[in-house]
């Protein structure tokens, strides 16, 4: 008995029943073709055209311009502030003395004021912005969503000096005659060191309030878009398991979008750290550290804005540049920590 070789084509059936059905080819390579080796791969077209290479190099150049610009700012501001940092050393960050006449400078009150006002702004603005974002994405009717979103986004376009003027003529009298007496006397918080002292109006608390109004549209806009991007299946799955609408939002929607919400909060924090004119007009500009939020204070940005045009000596200018360098480093550190937190939370969500 002879057997057909592996390379031969099997004979076609000769019965009438078999001839009624055509032979179907699956497109698989034959044994002989398999023995010749793997099929030759198609050549890649990536980078094969000169225009593609030029386009890729141009994109690489533009992408490298951003870190190069940051590096140049870091080097230039650090070089200008190095004389003051070298002369005063670590005491520049811990001293509360700022005496241009004697040439003795310390930036501790400005650093504390910057961090404190930004923290107050986040505490006030984040719940309001998140509440507005949840309402617009989950509860608002379609005819109301667009107008309210437009007005919230419009707050981000108002110039800083306009916020400052509004705060001088409206917010400060309201703080002096309404908010501060209410916190100190009605709520009996005056017994604590944080809400004690006279209610002048210009204060760290007032600066935190105006910053909260300024960063609210950034946090709200980012949070709203992130919540709208959550898949509808997240909500439907929670509702199908018997959750209420509020439980579905807090248990399924917000945890899914927490990475983007945190990114919006950090964006607002970056805005608060570097704000200048509005804070300068309402904080009181007193170079000292006080436990009371009712007391005037200083921020690094307002310190530079107030004194840079009046600085006459080299050490005074260098001290102001050193303050700017410290502000730049703090901003980079805060954004770096925020970037790490966002990436870690994003990895947890995808896991």
Give me the CATH number covering residue 247.
1.10.3720.10
- The model's confidence at residue 338, banded by pLDDT at 50, 70 and 90, is confident
Whether the per-residue pLDDT at 174 is higher than 80: the answer is: yes
The chain-wide mean pLDDT, for the chain, equals 85
| Predicted local distance difference test score (pLDDT) of residue 263 | 85
Instruction: Give the domain extent around 197.
Output: 107-314
| Predicted local distance difference test score (pLDDT) of residue 20 | 46
Whether the per-residue pLDDT at 346 is higher than 50: the answer is: yes
The pTM (predicted TM-score) of the whole model is 0.80
222 assigned to some structural domain: yes
Cβ proximity of 237 and 252 under 8 Å: yes
3-state secondary structure of 104: strand
67 assigned to some structural domain: no
- The model's confidence at residue 44, banded by pLDDT at 50, 70 and 90, is low
Q: Tell me the pLDDT tens digit for each residue of 109-157.
A: 999 999 999 999 999 999 999 999 999 998 988 888 889 989 988 888 8
The whole-angstrom separation of Cα 325 and Cα 74 is 7
Domain total in the chain: 1
| Residues sharing a CB contact under 8 Å with residue 95, sequence separation 6 or more, in sequence order | 88, 104, 105, 106, 107, 108
260 assigned to some structural domain: yes
| Predicted local distance difference test score (pLDDT) of residue 36 | 52
Q: At what angle do helices 108-134 and 314-350 cross, to 10 degrees?
A: 30
The whole-angstrom separation of Cα 38 and Cα 48 is 24
264 assigned to some structural domain: yes
- The model's confidence at residue 43, banded by pLDDT at 50, 70 and 90, is low
282 assigned to some structural domain: yes
Cβ proximity of 205 and 284 under 8 Å: no
Signed CA dihedral, 206, 208, 214, 216: sign only: negative
Q: How many Cβ atoms from other residues are within 10 Å of residue 171's Cβ?
A: 21
Q: Tell me the pLDDT tens digit for each residue of 55-65.
A: 999 999 999 99
| Predicted local distance difference test score (pLDDT) of residue 25 | 45
Which segments within 80-127 are labelled E, that is strand?
A: 98-99, 104-105
276 assigned to some structural domain: yes
46 assigned to some structural domain: no
Q: What is the mean pLDDT of residues 77-95?
A: 93
The whole-angstrom separation of Cα 155 and Cα 48 is 49
The whole-angstrom separation of Cα 105 and Cα 16 is 106
337 assigned to some structural domain: no
> Is 12 or 213 the better-scoring residue by pLDDT?
213
| Predicted local distance difference test score (pLDDT) of residue 169 | 95
Percentage of residues in the chain having pLDDT higher than 90: 52
């Amino acid at each position: 008995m002879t057997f057909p070789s592996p390379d031969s084509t099997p004979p076609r059936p000769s019965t009438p029943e078999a001839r009624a059905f055509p032979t179907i080819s699956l497109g698989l390579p034959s044994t002989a073709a398999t023995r010749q080796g793997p099929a030759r791969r198609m050549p890649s077209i990536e980078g094969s055209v000169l225009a593609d290479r030029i386009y890729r190099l141009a994109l690489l150049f533009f992408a490298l311009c951003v870190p190069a610009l940051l590096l140049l700012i870091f080097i230039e501001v650090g070089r200008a502030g190095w004389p003051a940092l070298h002369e005063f050393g670590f005491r520049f960050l811990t001293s509360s003395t700022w005496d241009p006449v004697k040439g003795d400078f310390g930036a501790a009150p400005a650093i504390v004021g910057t961090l404190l006002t930004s923290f107050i702004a986040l505490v006030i603005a984040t719940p309001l912005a998140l509440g507005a974002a949840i309402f617009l994405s989950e509860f608002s009717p379609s005819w109301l969503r667009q107008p309210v979103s437009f007005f919230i986004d419009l707050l981000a376009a108002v110039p800083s000096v306009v916020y400052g003027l509004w705060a001088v003529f409206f917010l400060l009298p309201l703080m002096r005659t309404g908010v501060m007496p209410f916190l100190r006397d009605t709520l009996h918080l005056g017994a604590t060191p944080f809400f004690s002292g006279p209610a002048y109006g210009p204060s760290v608390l007032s600066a935190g309030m105006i910053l909260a109004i300024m960063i609210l549209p950034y946090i709200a806009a980012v949070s709203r878009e992130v919540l709208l991007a959550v898949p509808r299946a997240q909500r439907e799955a929670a509702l199908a398991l018997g959750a209420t609408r509020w439980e579905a939002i807090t248990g399924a929607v917000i945890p899914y979008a927490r990475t983007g919400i945190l990114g919006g909060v950090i964006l607002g924090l970056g805005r608060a750290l570097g704000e200048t004119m509005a804070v300068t007009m309402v904080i009181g500009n007193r170079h000292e550290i006080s436990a009371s939020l009712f007391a005037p204070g200083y921020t690094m940005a307002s310190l530079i804005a107030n004194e840079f045009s009046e600085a006459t000596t080299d050490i005074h200018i260098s001290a102001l540049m050193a303050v700017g360098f410290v502000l730049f480093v703090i901003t980079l550190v805060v954004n770096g920590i925020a970037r790490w937190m966002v990436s870690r939370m994003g990895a947890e969500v995808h896991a």
